[in-house]
Structure 1
Amino acid sequence: MPIKKITALIVFITFLYNCDSPKTEHPKPQILPMPAHLESTKGEFILDNSVGMSYDDTFKVSATFLKEFVENGSSIQLQQNNSISFIQDDTILNDEGYQLTISPKQIEIRAKTDHGAFYAVQSLRQLLPTDFENGTFYQEKISIPCVTIKDSPQFKHRGMHLDVGRHFFSVDFIKKYIDALAMLKMNTFHWHLTEDQGWRIEIKKYPKLQEIAAFRDQTLIGSYNADPQQFDGKRYGGFYTQEEIKDVVAYAQNRHVTIIPEIEMPGHAQAAISAYPELGCTGEQIKVAETWGVFDHIFCSKDETFEFLENVLDEVLELFPSKYFHIGGDEAPKTHWEKCPNCQQRIKEEGLKDEHELQNYFITRIEKYLNSKGRQIIGWDEILEGGLAPNATVMSWRGTQGAIEAAKQHHNVIMTPTSHCYFDYKQSDNEDEPLANSGGFLPLEKVYSFNPIPEELTEEESKYVLGGQGNIWTEYIPNEKQLEYMAFPRILAMSEVLWSPTDKKNYPDFVARVDNFHQRLDALDINYANHLYEVDGGAATDGYELKSILKNKTIRYTTDGTKPSGTSEVYSGVIPINKDLVIKAAIFNADKKQGATFTQPITYHKALGKTISVNVQPSKTYSGSGIEGLINGISGSDTRVNDKEWLGFDGEDLEITIDLGEEMEISSIETRFYEAPWMWIYAPKMIAYGIKQNSLDSEAEIPESSDTHAIVKINLNETTRYIYLRIPNSGLIPKGKQGAGNKPWTFIDEIIIN
C-alpha cells in the first residue's frame, strides 16, 4: 500500500477513535472548604442516564440529596445500579469524615455515618457544573474528573448565627441560609429568636408575646450614633409559628444541620416585658424597643419570672431536639436589680455577694431546669461573671479571655470573638459599602486568619474548644440581599477555618477558589460582596506600598487625589513619602478599571519613620499595624476602631517615647482618642508630656469629644530629639454605664509631630 494511503488511514482511524472517546481537560478541583487530602487521578467518570445509585437506609439523607440535586439540576435521571455506591466504613474514625473515590467506572462514597456521606456529596456537588445549582444543565452527559478525597473536619462545632430579633426574615430565606451552611459543611445554625426589639417565636401559653412583643411601633433609620436619631414611623415585626419552626427544623435535619435556639435571659428582654410587665422589676408598662443598644429592663429574679421562663422553655424544647440550648446571658445591666426589693431579697436569702452573683444564680437555676430535660446550656461569656454555672458551655465573643477562663475550668467553649467572627462589621473601606455596625472592621483575610484555639491554652485545655461560628447581628441589615452581602464570602473563610487542617490553609489559594466559587453563588442567586478586585495598602519601611489579593493584576495610581485612569502610572514598587499625599489606586485590565477606587491620605510630619517605644503593648485584638503605626503618617478610620491604625490598650496607663534621631525644632504635638462608652472605650482626661527623660513636667487637658473623637493639640515650640508622653487610663467606668466598675479601653490614633 502506498505510504500516502497508509498515512491517511492512520489519520482516519485516529479521528474515529477521538470521536468515540472524547476527553475533557479538567482544571484542578476547586473545593470549599479545602479537603484534608485531595489527589487528582487519571481519567473521568461520565454521568448520564445509564448511571444509578446503590445505598441502604443508613445513607438515606445523603443519597436522597444527591439524587434530587442531579435530577432537579439536569435532564439526567439516575437508575438503580451501583455506578454510585454508598458504603459504610467503620475504619473511618470521625463521624463526619468520608472518603470519596471517583474512577472512570464508579463513584464510591465511604463513611461511618450519614453525616460523613453527606459531606462527601457536597464535595462531589462542587465537581459538577454550576448549572446544576439552578436546573439549567441541558446536556445529556457530563464528565467528572477522577479524584480521591479523604476528609474530616478539624472542629465539631461549625456554625453560623442569625439574629432575627432586630430584623425579621422569612421561612423561605431561613431555609436558603441553611442550604448554604450545608453546602459548606457547617453543621450548626444558631437561631437568635428573642430580643429587646422583637420576640420571634410563637408561645401558645403566652399569646401576648405574639400580639405585643413581636411588633414595634417604629424602627431607627441610619446610625445609632446620629444626633438626633431618625425613625421611620412604621409598625414592624413578625414571628414564626410553631408549625413553621417544626418545618424549618425538619428541613435542617435533612441537611445534617442542627438548630440551636436562643431565648435571651436575663437581659435583652424588653420585648417580653412589654407584653408582660410583671416579668420586670418595676412593673411599669414599657414599649418594645425601637432603637438598638442595651436596655435596663431585664427579667426580675422572682419566682413568677422563673415560672414564665420554664413554661416558655417547655414549648421551645418540644420544637428543637438539639442537645444544646442557648440562654444568652449577655449585656444584662443590674440597674433595676440594685433597686428591686425582690432581687435584693433573693440576694439575701441565697447568701449572694452582689448582683453579679445573682446573675449566676439566675443562669444556674435555668441550667438545672434544662439539665432536668436532658439539655445543656450555652451562654455568652458574661455568664462567667459571678461564677460559671456547673455544666455550661461558654460562647466567647468579647475577645478570647472568656474562652481561656472557661477552658481552664474544663468547660466547653465555642469561639466567636468580635475580632474575627462578627459579620455585621464592614468588610471593606469602599465608599459604597452599606451602613454597618460601627464597632469594627472585618475583611475576608482577617476571617481566614482566625485560629479558634487561643495560644494561652495547653494541649489538654484546647480540647475543650468545640469550634467556632460567624455571627450576624441585624441592626443594620433590613433585608435578605443585604444579609447575604454581609455573609458572603466571609462565610466561605469561616467554613475553611473550622473544617480544613491548619497546615492546608493558604490565603492566595483560598482567594482563587473564592473567585471560582462566585459562579456557584451566582447560580444560587446569592448576593455576595466582591472585594477581590480592590486594592489595599499599608506603610512600608521607606514609604507606602499597594497590593492586590489576586496575583498578576495591574495597579494604576495617582498621588494628588485625582482618580486613577487607564493612563495613570503603573504601580511597580514602594511609593516614597516626602510630602502630604492623597494616594488613589485601582486595578486595571488594559485601560478598563475593575473594582472600586482605593483612597489613602498620608500626612507627612517629623516623626514619620522614626523610632517609637511604649511601656505596654497594645491588645492583640486591636494592635493595628503595630506601635510603629502611631507615626506612619496614616490616620485611623473616623467611624471604627478595628482597622489597621487605631491601637487599643485594655485598661493600662500608656507611656510613649519618640526618638527623632536628631535635634529638631518642634512646634506642636497632635493626636486623637476614640470615645465610645457603649463599647467600653473612653478618651483619657489628660496627657502629660516632656522633652527630657524622666521629666513629664507639663500637662494638657483633653477636651471632651463632640462625636466619637477627642482631639488634643499641644503647642510646644522647642528644639529636642526626644518626646515623652504619658497617657493615663480614664479610670473606672461609672455606675449606670455599660461595663460599670471595669477599666475602659484607650484607643489612640496617629501622633503628628510638626
Structure 2
Amino acid sequence: MRRRRLLFSLLLVAAAGMGTAAVPPQPAAAPAATPLDRVVPAPASVVPGGAAYTLGEGTRIRVPGNSGEARKVAGYLAGLLRPATGFDLPVTTKDGRDGIVFQLGGRGTGKLGAEGYRLTSGGRSVTISAARPAGLFHGVQTLRQLLPASAERRTEQRGPWTIAGGTITDTPRYGHRGAMLDVSRHFFTVEQVKRYIDQLSLYKINKLHLHLSDDQGWRIAIKSWPKLATYGGSTQVGGGKGGFYTKDDYREIIRYASSRYLTVVPEIDMPGHTNAALASYAELNCNGQAPPLYTGTEVGFSSLCVPKQRTYDFVDDVIRELAAMTPGRYLHIGGDEAHSTSHDDYVAFMDRVQPVVAKYGKTAIGWHQLTGAHPAKGNVAQYWGYDKTSAAERAQVATAAQNGTPVILSPADRAYLDMKYDKNTPLGLSWAGYVSVQRSYDWDPGTYLEGAPASSVLGVEAPLWAETLSTSAHIEYMAFPRLPGIAELGWSPASTHDWDAYKKRLAAQGPRWDAMGIGYYRSPEVPWPAK
C-alpha cells in the first residue's frame, strides 16, 4: 500500500511538472479589426455587421471592366500594401467574387457624385464602388485606415490583415478641401512637396494651394521674365540659398498631385508681397530703382507700381505662362496685406488683373481683401480673418458672399497650421493666438462667418506659412495632428462633429503616423495610445 501511494505521488508530481513546463505558450489573441466608424474623416454613413475580410497570400485586386484609371488606383493600393504584408496582391481585370474589387460605375454609384464611394466588406471580398476614379481613390484611403497601422510600414510585418464587415457609404460635404504650402518664405524641393501630397491624400484633401511668390522669394520659372526665378528666387528667410521650380519641376508636382487626386492651385501674390519681383526688375518700381533682396519676415511694405503699364505687361506674361502650365480651374492672385498700396490703387489693380485671369481661362481666387474691391462674377474670396478681425471687415466679406462671391474659409486662429499650439511650441508664430488641436477642429464652416449664406461656402483650407519652417519635419510637426481635423470639417457631415468622439479617432491615427515616419505633436488634449 505504501509503495502504491509513493508511485501515485510521483506520477502527480510528474504530471504537475509537465503542466507547467511542457505546455507551449499560447499565441496572443489577434487584435480586433478596426471598427468602420473609426476612420478620419468620419464617413457619412456606416452600417457595421457581417463577417470580416482578411487579406491573404492569394488575395487579388480585381478591376472588372478594365478601366485604366481604376487600374491605376488598384496599382497604387497594391504598392502601398505589398511591403508590409509580403503578399503579391496581383492586379487583374478578371471578374471574380473574392479579393479586393474596384467597381467604377454601375448600379447605385450615380448618387455618390464625383468623389464619393461605397466600401462593402464581407467574408470573401472588399468592394469599393464609385462613379468616378477620385471616389475609388478616396475609398482606398478609408481602406488603409481600416487595416492595422503596421500596414503603412515599408518592411514585412506580422498580420493578420483584417477588415471589419459592413458597409460605408461616403460623400464629401464640400467640394474644396485644401491645404496651402508656403514655398516662398522657405523653399521646399519637389520631393518634399510630394511627401506632403501623400500625407494630404490620406485625409481626402483635394486641393494643394502653392504660395509661389512673396517678398522673400519667387519660386516659379517664367520664361518671359527669367530673373524672377534666378535672382528673385535666390534667397529665403534668414538668407539661405532659396531655390525655384523649373517648368518641368512644376509639371511634375502637378502630375504627382493629380495621381493622388489633388488639384494644384498656384498663387502669385500681388500687388503687395512682391519684393522678390521688384528686386528682380527695376522697371516694376514706380521710381525705377530695384530694392535689395529681402530675407526678413515683416509684411506690408512692398507694392507693384499700379499706374505703370509695364506692371500689367508683367502680370499678363506671368499669368499667361502659369495658366498654360496649370490644368486646374483656379489661379490665386493673393491681394492680402497690401498696406503700401492705396485703396484706390488696390481697387484699380484688381479691376485690371481679374480680367487677365479670365482671359487665360482661369477663375481667380483672392484673399478676402478682394471683397474690398470689385470681385468679378464667379471669382472666389479666401477668408483668413480671426476673432480680432473687425466686424466691418467680416461684414464686407459676408455682403460679398450674399451678392454671389463664393468663399473658402481659412480662419487664422482655427485653420492656420503655422500658429503655435501653445506658448511652449518651438516652431510657428502666434499673432493670431495659440491654436490647440481642439480649437482647430471645434468650429462649423457652415455657420462660421455670420451673414454669409451657407451655400456660399466652397469649403475649407489649412494654410501652412513657412517663416519658421524649413524642413519636412517642421511641416509635419505643425500639420499633425491639426490637419486631419480641418480635412474632416471639409469632408464629413456636420452631424458627425463631436470633439469627444473625434479625439479618440484622432488618437488612433498616432500609430499610423509612427509607421509612416511622420513626427507629430503629441498634444495632451488627445488620448494617444502608449508607445
User: TM class by shorter-chain length?
Assistant: 0.7 to 0.9
Q: Quickly say closer, same or farther: Cα 1:369–1:60, change in 2 above 3 A.
A: farther
Which of 353, 378, 402 is residue 366 of structure 1 equivalent to?
Answer: 353
Measured after TM superposition, the shift of residue 62 of structure 1 is 2.2
Cα distance in 2 for partners of 1:42, 1:24 equals 18
Q: Secondary structure at the match of 2:51?
A: strand
Which of 62, 78, 89 is residue 54 of structure 1 equivalent to?
Answer: 62
Which of 275, 279, 283 is residue 278 of structure 1 equivalent to?
Answer: 283
- The one-letter amino acid of 1:269's match is T
Measured after TM superposition, the shift of residue 103 of structure 1 is 0.5
Cα distance in 1 for partners of 2:374, 2:51 equals 60
Corresponding position: 1:45 with 2:64? no
Match of 1:325 in 2: 331
Which of 84, 98, 102 is residue 86 of structure 1 equivalent to?
Answer: 102
Match of 2:156 in 1: 137
Q: Quickly say closer, same or farther: Cα 1:512–1:198, change in 2 above 3 A.
A: same
Corresponding position: 1:267 with 2:272? yes
Cα distance in 2 for partners of 1:24, 1:422 equals 37
Tell whether the 8 Å contact from 1:75 to 1:140 is kept in structure 2 after alignment. no
- 1:108-147 paired onto structure 2 within 5 Å: 108-139=127-158, 142-147=161-166
Which of 175, 184, 190 is residue 156 of structure 1 equivalent to?
Answer: 175
Give the TM-score normalised by the residue count of structure 1.
0.61
Match of 2:458 in 1: 466
Cα distance in 2 for partners of 1:203, 1:509 equals 48
Corresponding position: 1:203 with 2:222? yes
Give the helix-richer structure, 1 or 2: 2
Cα distance in 2 for partners of 1:157, 1:332 equals 26
**Equivalent residue pairs, number:** 484
Q: Quickly say closer, same or farther: Cα 1:153–1:310, change in 2 above 3 A.
A: same
Tell whether the 8 Å contact from 2:35 to 2:146 is kept in structure 1 after alignment. no
Match of 1:63 in 2: 74
Tell whether the 8 Å contact from 1:70 to 1:77 is kept in structure 2 after alignment. no
Corresponding position: 1:381 with 2:368? yes
Measured after TM superposition, the shift of residue 418 of structure 1 is 1.2
Which of 82, 86, 91 is residue 75 of structure 1 equivalent to?
Answer: 86
Measured after TM superposition, the shift of residue 494 of structure 1 is 0.7
With a CA cutoff of 8 Å and minimum separation of 6, indicate the structure with the bigger relative contact order: 2
Which of 387, 397, 405 is residue 399 of structure 2 equivalent to?
Answer: 405
Match of 2:389 in 1: none
Give the strand-richer structure, 1 or 2: 1
- The one-letter amino acid of 1:124's match is L
Give the TM-score normalised by the residue count of structure 2.
0.86
Q: Secondary structure at the match of 1:101?
A: strand
Residues 169-215 of structure 1: CA distance to partner in whole angstroms, max 9, x if unpaired?
A: 12111001111111101100110000000111111222211221012
Cα distance in 2 for partners of 1:47, 1:526 equals 26
Tell whether the 8 Å contact from 2:419 to 2:428 is kept in structure 1 after alignment. no
- 1:462-541 paired onto structure 2 within 5 Å: 462-532=454-524
Q: Quickly say closer, same or farther: Cα 1:473–1:455, change in 2 above 3 A.
A: closer
Q: Quickly say closer, same or farther: Cα 1:148–1:250, change in 2 above 3 A.
A: same
Corresponding position: 1:394 with 2:381? yes
Cα distance in 2 for partners of 1:421, 1:165 equals 19
Q: Secondary structure at the match of 1:264?
A: coil
Cα distance in 2 for partners of 1:432, 1:193 equals 27
| Structure 1 spans left out of the alignment, 5+ residues | 1-18, 221-233, 336-354, 535-548, 554-588, 595-754
Match of 2:17 in 1: none
Cα distance in 2 for partners of 1:215, 1:278 equals 19
Cα distance in 2 for partners of 1:386, 1:25 equals 57
Match of 2:44 in 1: 36
- The one-letter amino acid of 2:42's match is M
Tell whether the 8 Å contact from 1:425 to 1:442 is kept in structure 2 after alignment. yes
Cα distance in 1 for partners of 2:280, 2:344 equals 28
Structure number with bigger Rg = 1
Aligned CA RMSD, in angstroms, stands at: 2.4
Q: Which runs of 4+ in 1 moved over 4 A?
A: 455-459
Match of 1:453 in 2: 446
Corresponding position: 1:417 with 2:422? no
- The one-letter amino acid of 1:416's match is S
Q: Quickly say closer, same or farther: Cα 1:415–1:25, change in 2 above 3 A.
A: closer
Cα distance in 2 for partners of 1:473, 1:305 equals 27
Match of 2:314 in 1: 308
Q: Quickly say closer, same or farther: Cα 1:441–1:455, change in 2 above 3 A.
A: closer
